[in-house]
Each structure stands twice: as structure tokens, then as C-alpha cells.
Amino acid sequence: MIKVGLVGYGFMGHMHAQCHEAAGARVAAVADVEPDKRREAEEKLKCLSFAGLDELLESMEVDLVDICTPTYLHEDLVVAAARAGRNIMCEKPMSLTVKSCDLMIKAVEKAGVAFMIGQVIRFWPEYQVIKEILDSGRHGRVEWMSARRLSPPPTWAWQGWLLDPARSGGAVLDLHIHDLDYIQWLLGLPKKVLATAAPGPQGGLDSVMTLAWEHESGAKSAAEGSLYLAPGFPFNMALLVACEKATVRYDSAASPTLVVYPFEGAPYAPPLPEPNIGASSETQGNIGSLGGYYNEIKYYLDCLEAGRKPGVVTPEGARESVRFSLAVAESARTGKIVDLG
């Protein structure tokens, strides 16, 4: 059984802990700066707890370190885990700068450990099916796609870090990156980006709209995201893909959520590979489903068991999503087109 050292036992740490248990791993230790979180982890998970990662690594052996802390802490924790020779899973985004991502990649390459960033949308059931449909080519090439991700303020975050742009990167790096990552995974990176944004109360780019073109596939894309809508607004994510021979629509608020509309023939709702794991029983955030989180964690654990490096999300791919997101933020701040080359 794989032994996990979980760093950060907040909203995302609770999600990951439940998924590790369901996937057959054991959370053997939790590191968290909050004493009440450590006590909660000890009671619920029957594990050891520590105030920090260094103490955890010095005190016990774990097979992997799962980092579920605020983004601004990722670099130091990943480097420390790599130097200790531990395999690493880390929540998205990888970090706040490309330079920081490069330092992390260098550290894990030197250590020879398996490293994956939790770009969970690549593992979300509807998005998995869309990828399969597009990869099959049966509806022709993608001409353009449009993504949407809208949320009320993430008030559950520890010390309000998500709404602090210095610690989270604002909506662009924390929320919008989900769709930018998925777009670049399907279409390749764009060469040109133009974005506009509305600042939140702390000055972050908390609502953003992006146009991108000259993707490697030749398609065009658009995306919008906000984490500062009214508190009662229901979280929503959606995707529209215009292919040569069909239109694919996903909307988390619709039923069925995913429908394909061919140019010839009747619309159909593809079956979804939804894991039988259900909803989280103890999270506070905007998504309660464990399905995508379970899929990514099970995939990573399977990679460790098989002795192979994760390929669905590579460190280099996660770095490129940060680079794409930072180009969007630069364009939104300057009002100019940013060339990603």
C-alpha cells in the first residue's frame, strides 16, 4: 500500500485525502500549520501529524508527498520533497512564475522522482470524453472552442489567500488556468493572446476574458473566468467546441451535461466514465464531486505502482499552462497582444 504524506489539510487536502483512501492508498501523515487541522487529521485519518513538511520527512518514510497548500508555497515544498527523494503530487497551478516552475522541474529531474501537477480538468469525466471524441477525428478538425468557468468568491480559503493576488495570482492563475490548460492540451499553445479583465477588491484580475489564436492545431479559442460573482451564484463550468462536422457542448448546469450535435444525424449524449465515488462529505469549496479528483489521483498512484512517469500531465505541460496564463495576465494589464512565439 502506498503511504502518502499530505501537506495542507484544508479544502483541497480534504478532497485528496478522501480520494487516496478510495484509490487504495493510505494517508500516513499530514503536515499543516494549524493545530486544529492536525488534530482533525489524526482523528479522521488515524495518521501522524506534523507542523511542517521538514518535520514529516525527518520523522517517517512516505512513498509520495501530496502538496495541497496555497500556490505561493509550492516551490519550496516541491524542492524539499525532491531533495528527500520522494515522489510528488502538487496542486495546480505549478507556481506563480515560469522561473519558479523551471526550478521545480530541475529539482525533480535531479532527484529522478515522479512529479505531477493536479490539472484536474484533464481527468474530469466530461472533459475526458471530449478529448476522446476530438482525438478520434470522427467529427473533423476543431475550428474553434470557447470555455467558461464562473464562481462566487472563494471565502473558504485559508487566511483569504485565494483573493490575494500576491499569493494566488488571482483568477487567471487559480481559476482561468483550468480552461487555458485544457485548451492548450487540445489545441497546443497559441502564438497570440489578447485579454481584458476586471479587478477584484484586492486588485487581482478576478474576472478575465481571453482570445487566443494561431494555436499549433490551427484553431482559435476564447475563454472567460471569474471568481468574484455574487455569493449566491452557483458555480458553473462550460465548454463549446466547433468541429467541421459537429458541435460539442458541455455545461455543468445542463442535463445531460454533455451533448454532441452532428451536422448530419441526431444529437446524442455520450456515456460518461463517472467513477462510483460520489460527492465529498466534508469540503467547503465550489465543487463537491470527487470524480475528477479521484481520477487524477488514481492515475498518479497507478503510475507509481507501474514505475512509470505520469504522461497525461507532464511537468513541462503544467509549466506551459502557467506561461499561457501569465501571458493572459500581461495582456489584461497592458491591453496589448502578447506573443507566445
**pLDDT for position 281:** 55
One domain for residues 140 and 261: yes
CATH code, domain with 23: 3.40.50.720
One domain for residues 147 and 267: yes
One domain for residues 168 and 268: yes
Cβ–Cβ < 8 Å for 275, 295: yes
Q: Exposure pattern of 108-136 as b/e (b: 16+ CB <10 Å)?
A: beebebbbbbbbbbbbbbbbbbbeebbee
CATH code, domain with 254: 3.30.360.10
Q: Is residue 303 part of a domain?
A: no
One domain for residues 22 and 153: no
Sheet containing 205-213: which strands, arranged edge to edge?
258-262, 246-251, 236-243, 142-150, 220-226, 205-213, 192-199, 338-339
Q: Is residue 253 part of a domain?
A: yes
Quote the domain boundaries for residue 133.
Answer: 121-275+315-339
DSSP secondary structure letter of residue 176 = I
* Among the listed residues 326, 335, 299, 314, the one whose alpha carbon sits nearest the alpha carbon of residue 123: 299
Q: How big is the CA angle at 222 (ends 340 and 200), to the nearest 5 degrees? A: 90
Non-local (6+) Cβ contacts of 275 within 8 A are 125, 290, 291, 294, 295, 298
In the listed set 80, 103, 120, which residue is the last one of a domain according to the structure? Answer: 120
SS3 258: strand
DSSP 20-67: HHHTT-EEEEEE-S-HHHHHHHHHHH--EEESSHHHHHHH---SEEEE
**pLDDT for position 276:** 62
SS3 225: strand
Q: Is residue 214 part of a domain?
A: yes
One domain for residues 110 and 188: no
In the listed set 65, 89, 120, which residue is the last one of a domain according to the structure? Answer: 120
Q: Is residue 125 part of a domain?
A: yes
Q: Is residue 102 part of a domain?
A: yes
One domain for residues 189 and 79: no
Cβ–Cβ < 8 Å for 118, 91: yes
One domain for residues 322 and 229: yes
Q: Is residue 297 part of a domain?
A: no
In the listed set 92, 120, 148, which residue is the last one of a domain according to the structure? Answer: 120
One domain for residues 13 and 130: no
One domain for residues 193 and 328: yes
Strands (E), 215-339: 220-226, 236-243, 246-251, 258-262, 338-339
**pLDDT for position 200:** 86
Which cell numbers hold the place of 18?
Answer: 478522501
Alpha helices per DSSP H over 60-124: 74-83, 98-111
DSSP secondary structure letter of residue 305 = H
How many domains, the chain?
A: 2
**β-bridge partners, 185:** none
One domain for residues 210 and 77: no
One domain for residues 84 and 207: no
Cβ–Cβ < 8 Å for 208, 332: yes
SS3 292: helix
Q: Is residue 180 part of a domain?
A: yes
Q: Is residue 335 part of a domain?
A: yes
One domain for residues 163 and 239: yes
Distance CA 90, CA 164 (A): 20
* Sequential pLDDT tens for the chain (341 residues): 999 999 999 999 999 999 999 999 999 999 999 999 999 999 999 999 999 999 999 999 999 999 999 999 999 999 999 999 999 999 999 999 999 999 999 999 999 999 999 999 999 999 999 999 999 999 999 999 999 999 999 888 888 888 888 999 999 999 999 999 999 999 999 999 999 999 888 888 999 999 999 999 999 999 999 999 999 999 999 999 999 999 999 999 999 999 999 999 999 999 998 776 655 555 555 555 788 999 999 999 999 999 999 999 999 999 999 999 999 999 999 999 999 98
